[in-house]
Amino acid sequence: MLVPAYDHEGFIEYALKAKFAYSDDLFYATGARGCLNISVSSDDPNVFTWASELEVPNEDGGVDKICYGYLQYKIDYETRSICRISMMSFKKGTQEFLKDVYNKFLELYENFNRIEFTCIKGNPAERHYDRLIKKFNGNKVELHKSIMDNNGKLHDEIIYEIVKQ
């Protein structure tokens, strides 16, 4: 389930910096070539960060809350649109994370006029984004050689847009 990320901010930032620093995964998720300024907290009241949380029984008979991914986006209330979406699963193949993100997407689609997000060509999630765009009659534009990775190689960037009819 997605919960506000307040209780997990430290873990999310640690995971991004310690586990994914300078990795292709981080590059695909954020477009960042490093990890020096990664922060999931924001002073901007229009930026929302969610942690994908799973409750797991522990040995003491209680429950541990485990964060296995995050989703962040910005709301432009003037245009009723969502932009600057960033997300990452900390555990590959976690279906719960995909379900959480998809359910949040449906909620945002229901309440806002436009959703825009980007993807670096070659991101393993690209095929899922293509299906999402097709399902919601969205648009896809490729910017060629527009973003550079850690090795100085230029990559194409894809801009996706879904406008509610």
| Number of other residues whose CB lies within 10 A of the CB of residue 116 | 19
Q: Give pLDDT, residue 34.
A: 58
pLDDT above 90 (res 140): yes
- Condensed to tens digits (0 to 9), the pLDDT of residues 15-35 reads 877 777 777 777 777 776 655
> What value does the CA radius of gyration of the chain take, rounded to a whole number of Å?
16
Residue 100's domain comprises: 2-163
Q: Give pLDDT, residue 37.
A: 56
Provide the 3-class DSSP secondary structure of residue 130: helix
96-100, 139-143, 147-151: range with highest mean pLDDT: 139-143
Q: Which domain CATH number covers 94?
A: 3.40.630.30
- For 62, 67, 88, the CA distances from 12, given in Å and listed in that order, are 23, 8, 10
**How many structural domains are present in the chain?**
1
